[in-house]
């Protein structure tokens, strides 16, 4: 399987549609003497989603077209299992630390979209493991810093968090290599695995899916050392979420089913409810309504039996019956069931939320979409504008992508004052603020806001 998302990302960075790629590939083929090309839009779509791998002569032509090597386009095959060359095994003093350098290389290459400055890569590669004379203080620092990022990742701009989080990964991995205590190694491996998961989420939110998948694999590699089946299942469920967002519902289902198989039978009811909710979300992404609603009913039954305030695991917010409102609303909106979506989303919206958060904005976007079938255009446009403001403030591709989807659905009402006000509001943001977040060419030409350059 080719590396999921890289070809798609490079096309979007250039504002190319799949038809553009087909046309340009044919032109490149003629230029290089490959005149009998039968490439189609559906083929390009399968390549972008990682369903099939392009056969000769297409890898050569794609490299020529994008002016990039094969590995940067994801044309080098990979295994979906964690990378075997990444190791967190403790080294004896003085031994050559090949695995550490390879891990740093992997982390740096995963940020190929410019998230990590070359100078920082050189500093990371040149540094030596940190001494760990007193394990208590470094361990406490590593865990508290990880906990800090856990609480701000949804409410701070992704671009501002990437650099500090990558540095934190380096810091914790160095502590891990220096530690001689098995218990400390387990705790540090858990911290660095979780931090890799954080960076993966940030990479996806910056429209760099290739980096997102790389960091997910790094997270899984570290979780083997942490020996936590729950954390491994969490990472797989998170990968399922992003596979669904990127349009691969079947892969989303496969990943979440693997995650559920790892959840211990004696796990808390809240934990089981959370994974059932993620399963419902994956089925909805795959378009399987009955399976999605069945999994959601199971999640709600489990949540109803859970103790009040029960946490999924120590680093999450409590997840009980109230925590399912957002899932029910999003799934209802996705399956075009407004009678199910609207009350659930209203409940999620009224629950305690940070004033400005990506989750808050996504709830607004889903609610805006769910108001449209009833013809509530003004309310839909108003909520979409609020979601846009949050997405712009936090630089969230995922939020802005949702805004784009709702705005496209509003197209039949584009001449109403509510939608015109929405377009004017969006036009007040400079286009260069979003060139690396959302492809403006994805807007239908007749809907595309007249972005102003200040």
Contact indicator for 244, 252 with CB cutoff of 8 Å: yes
Report pLDDT for 64.
87
Contact indicator for 189, 88 with CB cutoff of 8 Å: yes
Q: Which residue has the tokens 């999924």?
A: 312
Give the pair of three-digit tokens for residue 353: 């939320």
Between CA 308 and CA 202 the distance in angstroms is 31
Predicted TM-score (pTM) above 0.75: no
Q: How confident is the model at residue 31 (pLDDT cuts 50, 70, 90)?
A: confident
Q: For the segment 343-382, what is each residue's pLDDT rounded down to a tens digit?
A: 998 888 776 555 578 888 998 999 999 999 888 999 999 9
pLDDT at 139 over 80: no
Nearest to 139 by CA among 176, 104, 110: 176
- On average, the pLDDT of the chain sits at 76
Residue, of 217 and 146, whose pLDDT is higher? 217
Mean of pLDDT values over 388-402: 89
Mean of pLDDT values over 62-84: 63
Between CA 322 and CA 360 the distance in angstroms is 15
Q: How confident is the model at residue 136 (pLDDT cuts 50, 70, 90)?
A: low
Between CA 143 and CA 148 the distance in angstroms is 9
Q: For the segment 433-445, what is each residue's pLDDT rounded down to a tens digit?
A: 454 444 433 333 3
Q: How confident is the model at residue 183 (pLDDT cuts 50, 70, 90)?
A: confident
Report pLDDT for 13.
66
| Diameter of the chain measured on Cα atoms | 71
Residue, of 83 and 311, whose pLDDT is higher? 311
Mean of pLDDT values over 202-220: 89
Q: Which residue has the tokens 């350098």?
A: 101
Lowest mean pLDDT segment, chosen from 137-151, 203-217, 266-280, 304-318: 304-318
What are the backbone dihedrals phi and psi of residue 267, each rounded to the nearest 5 degrees, phi first? -65, 155
* 379 alpha carbon, distance to own chain's centre: 29
Element (H, E) at 333: helix 325-334
Report the half-sphere exposure of 20 (CA within 13 A, side-chain side). 13
pLDDT at 100 over 70: no
Burial category of 335 from C-beta neighbours within 10 Å (exposed 0-12, middle 13-18, buried 19 and up): middle
Q: How confident is the model at residue 5 (pLDDT cuts 50, 70, 90)?
A: low
Contact indicator for 354, 155 with CB cutoff of 8 Å: yes
Mean of pLDDT values over 254-267: 90
Report pLDDT for 196.
92
Between CA 376 and CA 22 the distance in angstroms is 40
Give the pair of three-digit tokens for residue 270: 């809240």
Contact indicator for 189, 176 with CB cutoff of 8 Å: yes
Q: How confident is the model at residue 237 (pLDDT cuts 50, 70, 90)?
A: very high
Which 3 state secondary structure label does DSSP give 44?
A: helix
Between CA 47 and CA 50 the distance in angstroms is 5
Residues 6+ apart with CB under 8 A from 339: 332
Residue, of 24 and 37, whose pLDDT is higher? 24
Report pLDDT for 256.
94
Report pLDDT for 161.
86
Between CA 71 and CA 75 the distance in angstroms is 6
Element (H, E) at 312: none
Between CA 106 and CA 121 the distance in angstroms is 11
Report pLDDT for 86.
32
Report pLDDT for 311.
54
pLDDT at 124 over 90: no
Q: How confident is the model at residue 447 (pLDDT cuts 50, 70, 90)?
A: very low
* Cα–Cα–Cα angle for 53, 201, 342, rounded to 5 degrees: 100
Between CA 335 and CA 331 the distance in angstroms is 6
pLDDT at 285 over 70: yes
């Amino acid at each position: 399987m080719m590396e999921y998302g890289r070809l798609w990302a490079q096309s979007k960075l250039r504002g190319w549609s799949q038809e553009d790629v087909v046309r340009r590939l044919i032109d490149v083929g003629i230029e290089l003497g490959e005149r009998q090309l039968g490439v189609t839009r559906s083929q390009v779509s399968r390549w972008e989603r990682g369903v099939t791998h392009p056969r000769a002569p297409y890898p050569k032509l794609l490299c020529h077209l994008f002016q990039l090597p094969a590995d940067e386009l994801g044309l080098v095959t990979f295994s979906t299992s964690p990378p075997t060359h990444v190791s967190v095994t403790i080294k004896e003093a003085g031994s050559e630390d090949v695995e550490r350098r390879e891990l740093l290389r992997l982390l740096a290459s995963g940020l190929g979209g410019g998230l990590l400055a070359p100078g920082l890569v050189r500093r990371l590669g040149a540094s030596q493991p940190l001494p760990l004379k007193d394990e208590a203080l470094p361990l406490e620092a590593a865990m508290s810093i990880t906990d800090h990022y856990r609480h701000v990742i949804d409410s701070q701009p992704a671009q501002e968090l990437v650099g500090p989080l990558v540095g934190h990964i380096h810091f914790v991995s160095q502590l891990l290599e220096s530690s001689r205590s098995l218990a400390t190694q387990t705790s540090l491996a858990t911290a660095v695995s979780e931090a890799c998961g954080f960076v993966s989420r940030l990479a996806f939110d910056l429209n760099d899916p290739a980096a997102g998948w790389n960091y997910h694999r790094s997270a899984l590699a570290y979780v083997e050392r942490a020996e936590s089946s729950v954390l491994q299942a969490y990472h797989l469920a998170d990968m399922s979420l992003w596979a669904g967002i990127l349009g691969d519902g079947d892969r989303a289902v496969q990943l979440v089913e693997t995650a559920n198989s790892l959840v211990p039978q004696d796990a808390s009811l809240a934990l089981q409810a959370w994974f059932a909710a993620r399963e419902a979300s994956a089925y909805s992404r795959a378009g399987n309504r009955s399976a999605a609603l069945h999994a959601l009913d199971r999640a709600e039954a489990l949540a109803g039996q859970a103790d009040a305030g029960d946490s999924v695991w120590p680093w999450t917010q409590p997840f009980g019956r109230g925590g399912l409102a957002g899932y029910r609303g999003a799934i209802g909106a996705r399956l075009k069931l407004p009678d199910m979506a609207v009350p659930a989303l209203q409940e999620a919206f009224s629950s305690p939320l940070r004033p400005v958060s990506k989750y808050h904005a996504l709830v607004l976007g889903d609610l805006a979409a769910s108001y449209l079938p009833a013809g509530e255009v003004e309310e839909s446009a108003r909520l979409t504008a609020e979601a846009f403001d949050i997405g712009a403030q936090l630089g969230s591709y995922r939020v802005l992508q949702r805004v784009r989807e709702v705005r496209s659905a509003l197209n039949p009402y584009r001449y109403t004052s509510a939608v015109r006000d929405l377009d004017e509001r969006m036009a007040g943001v400079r286009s260069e603020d979003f060139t690396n977040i959302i492809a403006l060419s994805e807007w239908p030409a007749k809907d595309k806001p007249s972005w102003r350059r200040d």
